[in-house]
Amino acid sequence: MNLGLSSLQKSKFINYNPEPRPIINYTEIPNLYWIAGFASGEGCFLVSISKSNSNKKGQIIQLTFKISQHCRDKKLLEMIAKYMKCGSVYSHSENASVFKVGKFVDINNFIIPIFKAHSIQGVKQFDFQDFCEIATLIGEGKHLSPEGFTKIKIIKDRMNTKRKYPKI
């Protein structure tokens, strides 16, 4: 995220006057292909496994789709949430806003069908495929068996920053 010059840099460039950043007035999301392209660059398909006292197994699996942006683009994220008919937008920090979909029913009924019909591009496509595989296992109740849970952990451990790509 571009936060401008650091304090040290500003002290070295005392005559520097940054160009003001324009306010962008978003009017509409063009279509789901636009959202798929935006998600290909800025989205994240996450799988988390955390402790849970309310679950018999003591652990819970959570699927999450997120798009993070500078707080100046919070309205854009709100428009995406409205267009997709799921998720919520919140301020993550002073400088960041997040569109997040975490309900399994929304992941299964909106996010996955949208991105299967309007493809995620680039290497993020591999994370989306793994995300879909885990959603299928959960939907079939296989996450409740030790074997299914282990399979989900293996898939999760090859996603996002843990993914290994062949050297070119």
Q: What is the pLDDT of residues 44-103, one digit of tens each?
A: 999 999 987 777 777 899 999 999 999 889 999 999 999 999 999 999 888 899 999 999
Q: Could you tell me which residues are beta bridge partners of residue 60?
A: 50
Instruction: For residue 154, give both structure tokens.
Output: 């293996």
Write the single-letter amino acid at 44: C
Is 4's pLDDT higher than 70? no
Instruction: For residue 100, give both structure tokens.
Output: 């997040």
Q: Report in angstroms the alpha-carbon separations of 157 from 44, 47, 48, 97, 109.
A: 15, 9, 10, 27, 25
What does the DSSP 8-state code read for residue 55?
S
First to last CA, the chain: 28
Q: Where do the structural domains in the chain lie, given as residue ranges?
A: 28-160
Domain covering 28-160: architecture: Roll (3.10)
pLDDT tens digits along 130-161? 999 999 999 999 998 999 999 999 999 999 88
* Rounded Cα–Cα distance for residues 103 and 109 (Å): 10
Instruction: For residue 149, give both structure tokens.
Output: 């849970």
